[in-house]
Amino acid sequence: MDNGSVWEGVRRMLPIAVAGLPEGVAFGALATSVIGHVAPVAMSLTAFSGSAQYATVSVLRGGGTLAAALLAAAALNVRYLAMSASVPGSSRRQRAGACLLLTDAAWGVAQGSRARLIGAGATDLASWLSGTVIGVLGGSLLGDPARLGLDAAFPALFVWLLRDHLGVLALLGAVVALVLTPLLAPGLPILAAGLAAGVIAVRR
């Protein structure tokens, strides 16, 4: 269907999925103390968005309104509107189906290939979902993921992907994100970086 393969997406995503597993475990362990055993797993399957899920669970624990959590989730995920536009395919249903698996890492790995997106996204979902299940069942057996340096895995992936795209546009994106991070809700600076580069390209 394009120049990538599903397997290629799986292969590239695998180290990230392994490094990200404790994130799912941490979410499952926290969420099960608030919303039981089934709801955290259902949430990881249907929302598939770590920060948005944390926001929602903290509301259910009694810290804020549901509307505020949904607004935070919308702000966090609105960048997917831009990322999903780059997924190729002639049928709406094929594109939308693949984009159900869209995450930052899967989008980066896909690099414009729908097959790679499916492979990478499914691998990411498998990691997030199985991590959640482990967390719900066993609590945080793995300890703090930061101790193992696993929080450096995601930025390392994006640096690796960025190495062939260095230039003015990358610099622009980094500056926009740095300036806006303290000012806007998490997620919005990423979208703003993409929009800024896109607008400049169209107007030129």
Partner 1 sequence: MTWLAVVLLAGVCVFMRVAVPLGLGHRRPAWLERALDAAMPALLAALVVASAVSDGQRLVLDPRLAGVAAGAAVAFARGPLLLVIVVAAGVTALIRAVT
CA neighbor of 196 nearest in space, from 178, 186, 49:
178
Residue 84 CB, nearest approach to partner 1 (Å): 5
H or E, element range at 15? helix 6-35
Smallest separation (angstroms) from partner 1 to the CB of 132:
13
The minimum distance between CB 112 and partner 1, in angstroms, equals: 8
Give the closest residue to 15 by CA, choosing from 141, 126, 153, 135. Answer: 153
In this structure, what DSSP letter does residue 148 have?
G
**Residue placing its CB nearer to partner 1 in the complex, 45 or 141:** 45
Distance CA 75, CA 122 (A): 23
3-state helix, strand, coil in the chain (%, to 5): 75, 0, 25
Per-residue DSSP letter, 151: G
Angle at 36 between CA 35 and CA 42, to 5 degrees: 80
Nearer to partner 1, 56 or 123 (CB): 56
Q: Are 27 and 139 in contact (CB under 8 A)?
A: no
For the bound state, the minimum distance from the C-beta of residue 54 to partner 1, rounded and expressed in Å, comes to 11
* Residue 21: CB minimum distance to partner 1, A: 13
